[in-house]
Structure 1
């Protein structure tokens, strides 16, 4: 296996946002969330092929806390990050022809002042919705192939072909696309910027296929996982957020 510097291990773990398959990274089933009204309203519809929501931890990282909570009459996942990074994920599968829209919501009380999602050293965010996709891995660069090998060695899972994140950025204009400084297989689409809408519940409906094609410049493969993530490990700070249920709408509902 090609060895990479320690700083690359975080991107390997981050890219594991919502992978298919079994992980050897310590993972908890998050039973209070898996059995909650939030989970009942989130992910694939009942009867579809999907696993329970689980807490995905990263090697060498303090885990973020995820708990079920009611907030302003909504079923939510309350997230508290204290110099930590981990994610709540669901393994699923939606074929390319069936990719429709995704509905989700979040509330952020404060920004992470030192965060900058475009830099290696400060890549933290108060909220992320993470989508992982299959694709033709023969198109990986040598660096990305090495990262995928490292991810496989660390977790038992290869790096996804492509990872799309919806994020809140401190300063960049909504609609901005940010490529990870560590790998171009992780790209972030800014939905919110700055302080203007802090403390509010914000609701979104995004066309997954259209966003993927805009961000990556190609047609998507199957969607194989979804995750939520609030992280503050790089800035060694604190962050708080609430996430509402995540719902997939079929193509016919566009």
Structure 2
């Protein structure tokens, strides 16, 4: 399962509903077993995601991505500290909400996002496959020249396709909250260097507070990969606590992604 978890991080993360509900008790358990059910985003969740998460592509809708064999904790529209948000009550689970771009975005600009967490995964370590959990992530999946890949990455991409139905993106840049790595650090995925994590929050100092970030996507991709970014094929929100078997609650606020096609 550790290998499957690594593949998860590599895949293409990937009418009018009512208003947001007020934040409620954490006691309710919204975690399902993805081995037996494939929860799809509800019309209300898609409506709130469309209102809260802004990208250059109005379609397709944001939708959940459930990784085979992993527990899934739902994204729930709520209001948290007077802000509309999407809440994930994680419990040894993996939660992904993503939008794929069709056509891919050939130009990218700034990325603005906000998130809040009440705890960090127990003993998480982004450098170790067995402990590589994070309470919140914003994931950007890019296309590029796959001929530059070594043979081992082609094999990993094929295994990703077999397990998930999707090939490995050429490169994946992940904005992440780390338990211990300093902000500004670039952390390689322990299984493949095609996934690189850029730490924007670290440690417990910001717990329980809305954290705001404005990032230059091109500059961050250059920092992480040392080359120009290719077309952007997907953006995703991701909370994972499966490796550390942790329980926590994460909230995602507004997100704005600038970009376009030529």
TM-score under structure 2 length normalisation:
0.85
Partner residue in 2 for 1:14:
9
Partner residue in 1 for 2:249:
240
| Number of corresponding residues | 237
> Aligned equivalents of 2:144 and 2:6: distance in 1?
18
Partner residue in 2 for 1:71:
80
Q: Does the 8 Å contact 2:12/2:168 carry over to 1? A: no
More strand by share: 2
User: What is the correspondence of 1:147-158 to structure 2 with a 5 Å cutoff?
Assistant: 147-158=156-167
Q: What displacement does 1:27 show?
A: 6.2
Deviating above 6 A after TM superposition, structure 1's stretches of 4 or more consecutive aligned residues are: none
> Aligned equivalents of 1:43 and 1:56: distance in 2?
19
Q: Which runs of 5+ in 1 are unaligned?
A: 1-5, 20-24
Partner residue in 1 for 2:105:
95
- Which of the numbers 192, 197, 202 marks the counterpart of 2:201? 192
Q: Which runs of 5+ in 2 are unaligned?
A: 15-36
> Aligned equivalents of 1:183 and 1:194: distance in 2?
25
Q: Does the 8 Å contact 2:187/2:196 carry over to 1? A: yes
> Aligned equivalents of 1:30 and 1:131: distance in 2?
23
Partner residue in 1 for 2:20:
none
Partner residue in 2 for 1:32:
44
Greater mean alpha carbon deviation, residues 8-17 or residues 182-191: 8-17
Q: What displacement does 1:89 show?
A: 0.7
Q: Does the 8 Å contact 2:52/2:253 carry over to 1? A: no
Taking a change above 3 Å as real, the CA distance of residues 88 and 195 of structure 1, as seen in their structure-2 partners, is same
Cα deviation digits, residues 52-93 of structure 1 (max 9, x gap) = 111101111111221111112211100111111130111125
TM-score under structure 1 length normalisation:
0.88
